[in-house]
Structure 1
Amino acid sequence: MTPTRCGSLPVVEVLGLIKSGMDAGQVHKLCLKNGGFVNLLGTNDAREVQARAEKGDAEAARVWDTLVYQICKWVGAMAAVLGGDVDGILLGGGMVHSDALVEAVRERCGWIAPVTAYPGEFELEAMAAGARRVLNGEEDAREYTGIPVFQGFDK
């Protein structure tokens, strides 16, 4: 779950949305733009959701706890596919400015590996650094084809 995305959903629930009259475009928009906090609480601001939860808003607290639950569930899933060989858990993005969020993940997942927070969004810096490497001849330009690169684990 994120402020605008609903997170993982059971397929049966998605089919239920379509059966209720939503078309594929509406379901897509719900899952990727108007899901998560927006659909449940009418805001995409994690600070607002956290503040409402701290002030006793039971619905905001439930949604906040769901966010923490889903983050921790995915950390655990990734730890499992790595066979438990996890050096660190890195949290990034704007929501990581929340000490409460980081601490909640640390409490639940810190036994797997140390949890480190990198608050902020660094996508633009990463893209600029990549462009600079291409312009300096340090790296060849790549074209995104949409074809998945991961072909499974080596046996």
Structure 2
Amino acid sequence: LEPVARISGLKEIERRSALHVLNQRAAARRAASRLARAYEDLNLIVAHLGGGITIGAHRRGKIVDGTHGLSEGPFTPERAGSLPTLELLDLALSGRYTPEELRKKLVGEGGLLSYLGTRDALEVERRMARGDEEARLVFEAMAYQISKEIGAMATVLEGEVDGIVITGDLARSEPLVRMIRQRVSFLAPLFVFPGEEELLSLLEAGLRAWRGEEEIKEY
């Protein structure tokens, strides 16, 4: 993350990067190919949608800001995402949960599972098709939060957005993608690449390094 993106609002806590980097970059490069331009020349917003959801701002080949997949951003099928701070503090101090129980509730029992009793997006879609209004509201809320975070990343890129990329297993959900498209399509063209391609991304990066197209970095 850029230095300005690491400031959280509380000195003791620094915002950290924890995105689905490999799949985000793979999907971003596919979008660049569709645009017939180099990934390094584009400003893209990439949303990885799965059991975890992360939204990243890619400025000319570098991820300059993004949501933490475990502790912030939109809620997911099983994660709570960003929550009202004081209410979360009250819950933590209520004595109802041990630290580990609360951590599990936030990361493994939040989101769709907390509201609807299932983390299966297909099951939620079936409920919606049967007229379940609670399922529709919660599913729309997930799309709403994803869209809102995409909009936030557009400000990170100062409005210069060449494309919005949707990837991950939840990108297979037509209702979810449709809800997101309705809210963000005014920003930039939308590209949808369902699934995850971490291994392909590693292979392609290795090939670029072998060809001398990309610098080999040591960490």
TM-score by length of 1: 0.80
Matched, 1:87 2:152: no
More helix by share: 1
Matched with 1:54 is: 129
Equivalences for 1:5-154 in 2 at 5 Å?
Answer: 5-21=79-95, 22-127=97-202, 129-130=204-205, 132=206, 140=216, 142-143=218-219
The answer to whether the 8 Å contact 1:14/1:27 transfers is no
| Aligned mates of 1:26, 1:128 — CA distance in 2 | 39
Gaps of at least 5 residues in structure 2 are 1-74
| Aligned mates of 1:65, 1:74 — CA distance in 2 | 14
CA shift, 1:112, in A, is 0.5
Q: CA RMSD of the aligned region, Å?
A: 2.2
CA shift, 1:2, in A, is 1.0
CA shift, 1:54, in A, is 2.4
CA shift, 1:133, in A, is 5.1
CA shift, 1:29, in A, is 1.4
| Aligned mates of 1:137, 1:28 — CA distance in 2 | 44
CA shift, 1:122, in A, is 1.8
The answer to whether the 8 Å contact 2:140/2:179 transfers is no
More strand by share: 2
Gaps of at least 5 residues in structure 1 are 144-155
- Residues 137 and 112 from structure 1, CA distance in 2 versus in 1: closer, same or farther, beyond 3 angstroms? closer
CA shift, 1:141, in A, is 6.2
TM-score by length of 2: 0.58
